[in-house]
Amino acid sequence: MTETVEHAVTPPPVSDVDPFSHENLENPDPLHRGLREAGPVVFLPRYEVHAFARYEQVHAALVDWQHFESGSGAGLANFRDEKPWRAPSLLLEADPPLHDAPRRALRDILAPPTLRRLRATWADLAEALVDQVLSCGAEFDALPALAEAFPLRAFPDAVGLGPDGRENLLPYGNMAFNAFGPRNDLVAADAHRAADLSAWVGAQCQREALAPDGFGADIWAAADRGDLTHAQAPLVVRSLLTAGVDTTVHGLAACLYAFATHPVEWQRLRERPALARVAFDEAVRWQSPVQTFFRTATTDVSIAGSIIPEGTKILMFLGSANRDPDRWDDPDRFDLTRDPSGHVGFGMGLHQCVGQHVARLEAEALLTALVRRVESFELLGTPRRHLNNTLRAWASLPVRVHPVR
Ligand code: PQP
């Protein structure tokens, strides 16, 4: 058999990089640039995966669930031959049709009427938090004081969690987001806590553990209506608990870091507080708190003349797509005058973040409260990254604020 030139198969470029090394997690920009420049698809023999680092291919894979499935896992582990560390998520690690009922249920629960009810509560919470933090002095670590404190005050109450054990939420999320990567030292560091954290989260997903007026009770009510099964309900609650805290903490941290290092943009926001949502999306584009997700090829897929074999994993670099110079002008610039829509920091397509409006509402509440009280702020010393296999996260963001007088 001969092949025409158009159908010639060219092996993709190969790279021995480790995207999950401490150096690359600490600063992924050089890695991303190298992979984008190497080609539309790059084979990484270290993990036996094909990688997409350009916007075009990441976007194309995200919107093509028929060829790039999630049901074999959205992390490196291939559920076709590896036992998942916990029961697979009905949302993140499922494809249609299994995915659809849980997705619809959660979409309806996190819909505009719910957000309208939360808006005033969260605005008040944010005002109170900012007042409290500023009353303790002008120099503080904005990571625990604001980026962690606000979601931890807002989200667990909205879900309807009980008061005990909430300190487990961030460690559980950290563990879950590490688990999407390879079984490296970051995974090993939390292994001793895995059973306890999972048991606590599992217990909070039961109907009896949840207040009657939160997202959790809403999920159980959807099961009572027959929108999903009663066996599915606790797993959907688990998705909220896994996805809802660390993501927003580091999304808010991305905003705070962005503004602490871009005082002109902070003045722009102060002049036009209605930009808070655009600012959040631009920060999500610029930092991409969720850096990576994986898919699995459902058939041999041809990308720019290279074949990705059926059943193998594809690593999508969301953070790299969000800074691809072929898609964005001056991509490394945090810029409130750009239109960040189309960024893939919340994914795209069928699985696009169902919680994104909740996240935007949290960001809007916190930024609006800060804009009223803070004339300007700056970094006070070097911020420190917290390394995670999936999250672009912070350990510390020391700042000095100049309050509005
Ligand atoms: C980024 C769902 C979504 C949300 C789950 C789950 C876990 C994480 C996320 C990632 N996620 N934003 O367990 O269903």
Query: For residue 213, which amino acid is it?
Result: D
Asked if residues 244 and 289 have their Cβ atoms less than 8 Å apart, the reply is no
pLDDT digits (tens, 9 = 90+) for 183-208: 999 999 999 999 999 999 999 999 99
Whole-angstrom Cα distance, residue 398 to residue 391? 20
pLDDT value for 9: 84
pLDDT score recorded for residue 47? 98
Residue 3 scores a pLDDT above 50: no
The CA 139 to ligand 1 mean position distance, Å, reads 33
Q: Mean pLDDT over residues 304-322, rounded?
A: 98
Q: Residue 243 Cα, ligand 1 centroid: separation in angstroms?
A: 4
Q: What is the mean pLDDT of residues 234-258?
A: 98
Could you tell me the distance, in angstroms and rounded to a whole number, from the CA of residue 135 to the centre of ligand 1?
A: 35
The pLDDT score that the predictor gives to residue 6 is 52
- Residue 119 CA to ligand 1 center (angstroms) comes to 23
CA distance 168 to 191: 14
Q: What is the mean pLDDT of residues 263-290?
A: 98
Which atom of ligand 1 is nearest to 91's Cα? 14
Distance 329 CA to ligand 1 centre (A): 30
pTM for the model: 0.97
Averaged pLDDT for residues 222-242: 98
- β-bridge partners, 259: none
C-alpha 254/C-alpha 322 separation (Å) is 14
Q: Which residue shows structure tokens 């919340």?
A: 346
User: Under a CB-based contact definition with an 8 Å cutoff, are residues 208 and 182 in contact?
Assistant: no
Q: Which atom of ligand 1 is nearest to the CA of 290?
A: 1
Residue 7: per-residue pLDDT: 60
Distance between Cα 330 and ligand 1 center (Å): 30
Q: Report the relative pairing of strands 49-52 and 384-387 from DSSP bridges.
A: unpaired
For a ligand 1 pocket test, name from 106, 204, 236, 239 the mutation site with the most ligand atoms within 8 angstroms of its C-beta.
Answer: 239
Distance 285 CA to ligand 1 centre (A): 18
- Contacts by 299-306, CB closer than 8 A, 24 or more apart: 299/67, 301/67, 301/68, 302/9, 303/12, 303/40, 303/41, 303/50, 303/52, 303/57, 304/39, 304/40, 304/41, 304/57, 305/8, 305/9, 305/10, 306/9, 306/10, 306/11, 306/12, 306/41, 306/50
- Rg over CA atoms, the chain: 21
- Record the tokens describing residue 288, joined without a space: 């991409």
- Report the nearest-CA residue for atom 10 of ligand 1: 243
Ligand 1: which atom is nearest the Cα of residue 93? 14
Q: Of 248, 351, 233, nearest to 290 (Cα)? A: 248
From 70, 92, 316, 360, mutation site for ligand 1 pocket: most ligand atoms within 8 A of C-beta: 92
pLDDT tens figures, 331-368: 999 999 999 999 999 999 999 999 999 999 999 999 99
Residue whose Cα lies nearest atom 5 of ligand 1: it is 239
Residue ranges per domain, the chain? 22-403
Tokens of 216: 């959790």
- The 10 Å CB-count burial string (b at 16+, else e) for 3-16 is eeeeeeeeebeebe
Q: Which pLDDT score, from 0 to 100, does residue 1 have? A: 35
Looking up tokens 């919470």 gives 125
pLDDT of 5 > 70? The answer is no
- DSSP secondary-structure letter at 176? H
Nearest CA to ligand 1 atom 11: 243
Q: Using CA atoms, how far apart are residues 319 and 77, in angstroms rounded to an integer? A: 20
* Secondary structure (3-state) at 69: strand
For CA atoms 313, 57, 21, 199, the dihedral sign is: negative
Q: Please give the Cα distance from 295 to 284 (Å, whole number).
A: 21
Q: What is the DSSP letter of 200?
A: H
Q: What percent of the chain has pLDDT over 70?
A: 98
Local structure of residue 275 (DSSP, 8 states): G
Question: Would you call 264 exposed, middle or buried from its count of C-beta atoms within 10 A (0-12, 13-18, 19+)?
Answer: exposed
Q: Specify the residue with its C-alpha closest to ligand 1, atom 13.
A: 239
Distance CA(239)–CA(88), nearest Å, equals 10
Q: Amino acid identity, residue 186?
A: L
For the chain, counts of helices (H) and of strands (E): 17, 12
Rounded to the nearest 10°, the torsion over CA 34, 36, 42, 47 is 60
Residue of the CA atom closest to atom 4 of ligand 1: 243
C-alpha–C-alpha distance, residues 186 and 178, integer Å:
7
Tell me the torsion sign for CA atoms 361, 256, 270, 134. positive
In angstroms, what is the span from residue 245 Cα to ligand 1's centroid?
Answer: 10
**Per-residue pLDDT tens digits for 60-116:** 999 999 999 999 999 999 999 999 999 999 999 999 999 999 999 999 999 999 999
**CATH assignment of 22-403, given 2.30.30.700, 3.40.50.300, 1.10.630.10, 3.40.50.970?**
1.10.630.10
Share of the chain above pLDDT 90, in %: 97
Q: How much is the average pLDDT of 35-55?
A: 98
Q: Where are the alpha helices (DSSP H) in 136-245?
A: 142, 149-159, 169-178, 185-190, 194-204, 215-224, 233-243
CA–centroid distance, 244 to ligand 1, in Å, is 8
Residue list, ligand 1 pocket, CB within 6 Å = 89, 91-92, 239, 242-243, 247, 290, 353
Mean of per-residue pLDDT scores for the chain: 97
Ligand 1, atom 14, residue with closest C-alpha: 239
Q: What's the pLDDT at 405? A: 83
